[in-house]
Amino acid sequence: MKTSGSRSLPSRIADHVRDIPRSGIRDFFDIVSTMQDVISLGIGEPDFDTPWHVRESTVFALERGATHYTSNLGYLELRRAIAGYVGRQFGPGYDPEREILVTVGVSEALDLALRALLNPGDEVLYHEPCYVSYRATILFAHGVPRAVTTSAADGFRLTRAMLERHVTPRTKVLMLNYPNNPTGAVMPRAELEEIAAFAEAHDLLVITDEIYAELTFDDAHTSIVSLPGLRERTIFLHGFSKAWAMTGYRLGYACGPAELIEAMMKVHQYTMLCASSFAQKAAIEALAHPQADIEGMVAEYRRRRNVVMQAFDDMDLPCSRPLGAFYAFPDIRKFGLSSKDFALRLLQEEKVAVVPGSAFGDCGEGHVRCAYATSLDNIREALPRLRRFIGRLA
């Protein structure tokens, strides 16, 4: 019952939660979902089905009764499989007993890492444009987000000089996400070495979200954690959502030095307890034969990337060439519309959904994200519509 003088509900919400806006993607989704026959280039998840052997093993796991709590860290069998895969694929070895934590997606792993590491006021360097949750997750952990702007001119890659401009004595963590959502940028080894030197020079911890690591089109992915000296200051985050098309399973993992994993485990233990048991069983199966599943998907994303980039070229739409993930991030500044207006009008006039770049940080303004995680038929239908639309704007 409301009594006179009681404070309004919104005013009782914690400041640091109330002050964070909802994801721009969420707002846009609400608009798109009211419309019919939209071709969506706005979907940040694979269009491929989860490989059947993985789904089938999930069913088997349920039949067998894998429906109970698991160890807080996750099934040891899965952690062993992860240790093997990460060692082969990315370089460093991790002890499955103490250095790997299975989480509910990389999103949870990131949240745990930041909560485990940050004291209020500690600063976190991260690059923008970036995944929609980074800034919010830092703020929820009472950290201070320090965005480092990257731009199409640099292929959306980071340089040491950019980072040096934002580092302070309070900086504690450097967050990386390559291959990148929303730009498709990757960091070649030589440039990563500079970033690694920067992290060492300032004694920073590194959190690297490499959820798109398998999805590179031209050169094999290099993880910063494979560079000399970096393993001991890095939390490596990865998962099954993108390379295995398992987004709904919500399964990720963190690898890192035992002391840091132990701290993350504490938060996980008291908040999440463990990741879904049968999802973990499915992940064991996914890791049993990873290559066959992934190769076909990467080949298809590469073809789509080529189709999209050639069409952008033909319509004179500037776009830094994506080298990984499944996103293109064209520059729409010449049309004089905000990215939100551009996306709204494209949706209303041509029924094509893209995501306004501003959803990925202030410096994403002037761009839109086009995900090519949709069939070539859809892409071929969407591109002429986009062309017609910008033809009218020009």
Q: CA-CA distances (angstroms) from residue 345 to 131, 133, 317, 364?
A: 24, 26, 17, 18
Residue of 152, 260, 311, 317 that binds another protein (CB under 8 A):
311
Q: Which of 160, 351, 380, 385 binds another protein (CB under 8 A)?
A: 380
> What's the chain's length in residues?
394
Compare residues 269 and 375 and give the one whose CB is closer to another protein: 375
Q: How far is the CB of 364 from another protein (least distance, A)?
A: 13
> Binding to another protein by residue 357, rule CB under 8 A?
no
In sequence order, what are the residues at sequence separation of 6 or more whose Cβ sits closer than 8 angstroms to the Cβ of residue 327?
44, 180, 181, 182, 183, 184, 369, 370, 371, 372
* 8-47 positions binding another protein, by CB under 8 A: 23, 25, 28-29, 32-33, 38, 40, 42-45, 47
Which of 17, 59, 220, 376 binds another protein (CB under 8 A)? It is 376
Binding of another protein at residue 140 (CB under 8 A)? no
| Relative orientation angle of helices 52-64 and 277-288, to the nearest 10 degrees | 140
Strands 100-103 and 252-255: antiparallel
Sign for the CA dihedral angle at 129, 44, 275, 50 comes to: negative
Residues in binding contact with another protein, number by CB under 8 A:
29
Q: What are phi and psi of 205, to 5 degrees?
A: -85, 150
Our CB check for another protein shows the closer of 175 and 227 to be: 175
| Of residues 27 and 194, the one with the C-beta less far from another protein | 27
- Backbone torsions φ then ψ of 209, nearest 5 degrees: -95, 105
CB of 179 to another protein, least distance (A): 15
Decide whether 39 or 282 has the Cβ nearer to another protein.
39
Stretch that binds another protein, among 96-104, 128-136, 151-159, 187-195 (CB under 8 A): 128-136
Q: Token pair of 127, please?
A: 């690059």
Sign of CA dihedral 148, 153, 158, 159: negative
Dihedrals phi, psi of 306, to nearest 5 degrees: -60, -45
Torsions phi, psi of 235, nearest 5? -105, 120
Q: Pick between residue 125 and residue 130 the one whose CB is nearest to another protein.
A: 130
Q: Which residues are near another protein by CB under 8 A?
A: 23, 25, 28-29, 32-33, 38, 40, 42-45, 47, 131-133, 181, 299, 303-304, 306-307, 310-311, 353, 355, 359, 376, 380
